[in-house]
Copies of this chain bind each other. A is one copy, B any other.
Amino acid sequence: MKVGFVGQGKMGVPMTLNLIWDGHEVTVFNRTREKTQAAAEEGARVVESPAQAADGADVVVTILSDDAAVEAVVFAEDGVLGGLGKGAVHASMSTIGVATTRRLAEAHQAAGQGFVAAPVFGRPEAAEASKLWVVAAGPADMVERCQPVFAAVGYGVSKVGEDATRAAVLKLASNFVLASAIEALAEAIALVRKHGIDPRELLDVVNTRVIRSPFYENYGTIITDERYEPAGFSLELGLKDVTLALRAAEESGASLPLAALVRDRFQTAVSRGWGEIDWAGLGRVSSDAAGLGSARGAD
């Protein structure tokens, strides 16, 4: 299949490689051209604009850092919207807001093109291993059209309806639930450390015996070890996603006090200059607010 791919960041590169290795004919675009080198070496064609990446593609994928970046590559003069053929599909695989998702769906529909919102779960390691999970929403035939792409990058798809915004809402609500779990771990770990208890004992009790989640195990360990670098998913992205979840709540009139609190913790971390570390770095906010030095010595 002919696949256009816009965005060669931490997620985009391994996804592109997996598409190539799965036999697809891939055309890539990235604003910073040097990041397309890995894909080029594996045989991707590198082009000069999002429009060229979309041109002739069955499916054009975008995976970019935020809503503004997606809107830029889609609506620009030499953007995806202009280059994509009638009947071809734009699969938006970043986590973006509900309003932006709606705008994209409407614009593509008006242009006789397909649009599928298909944000993914998984950190860069999962992308490398083709182990992402896709949450897809859009017209059934369009989602079907994207299936080979999803198969190349992930191990499964939740199809959540015809309205693209549903995928956005579900992804944002999910990321908020995950961020809340990290914040709870961050605070609970600070609490037990203040009582002189090794956080591993906490994880052994609350996760091994009750919650039993690999997610808690992973993040509990990162916070315990204070291994916030390299970031799998940065604090800055965490801030973006919880902010978007709050926007979705504003739009629909839900009250999310916990999301507001977690957003503020991310904001504090980013404003203090920690935006590039892993979002587990909420642990640093809590340990700092508890007057704990770093457990690892020099910080």
Q: Which residues of A contact B (CB under 8 A)?
A: 98, 121, 133, 135, 156, 158, 160-161, 165-166, 169-171, 173-174, 176-178, 180-181, 183-185, 187-188, 190-192, 194-195, 197, 201-202, 204-206, 209-216, 243, 245, 248-250, 252-265, 267-268, 270-273, 286, 288-291
In the assembled complex, which residues on chain B have CB atoms less than 8 Å from the CB atom of A291? 253, 271-273
Indicate whether A271 sits within 8 Å of B257 (C-beta atoms), given known contacts A169-B191, A209-B133, A245-B191: no
In the assembled complex, which residues on chain B have CB atoms less than 8 Å from the CB atom of A209? 121, 133, 156, 158
Query: Copy number of this protein in the oligomer?
Result: 4
A25 to B289, CA, bound (A): 48
A195 touching B165 by the CB < 8 A rule?
A: yes
A135 touching B261 by the CB < 8 A rule?
A: no
**What's the nearest-Cβ distance from chain B to residue A210, in Å?**
5
Indicate whether A254 sits within 8 Å of B158 (C-beta atoms), given known contacts A174-B206, A260-B260: no
Indicate whether A271 sits within 8 Å of B286 (C-beta atoms), given known contacts A170-B201, A197-B170, A201-B160: no
Select A257's contact among B135, B158, B261, beta carbons within 8 Å: B261
In the assembled complex, which residues on chain B have CB atoms less than 8 Å from the CB atom of A185? 177
**What's the nearest-Cβ distance from chain B to residue A97, in Å?**
13
What is the chain B residue whose CB lies nearest that of A192? B173
Select A253's contact among B160, B169, B216, B290, beta carbons within 8 Å: B290
Indicate whether A254 sits within 8 Å of B169 (C-beta atoms), given known contacts A174-B202, A210-B174, A260-B260: no
Name 5 interchain pairs, CB-CB below 8 A, sorted by A.
A173-B202, A184-B184, A253-B271, A254-B271, A272-B288
B195 touching A176 by the CB < 8 A rule?
A: no
B213 touching A255 by the CB < 8 A rule?
A: no
**What's the nearest-Cβ distance from chain B to residue A148, in Å?**
20
In the assembled complex, which residues on chain B have CB atoms less than 8 Å from the CB atom of A183? 180, 258
What is the chain B residue whose CB lies nearest that of A253? B271
Indicate whether A255 sits within 8 Å of B158 (C-beta atoms), given known contacts A177-B185, A205-B135: no
B252 touching A191 by the CB < 8 A rule?
A: yes
In the assembled complex, which residues on chain B have CB atoms less than 8 Å from the CB atom of A211? 177-178, 181, 213, 215-216
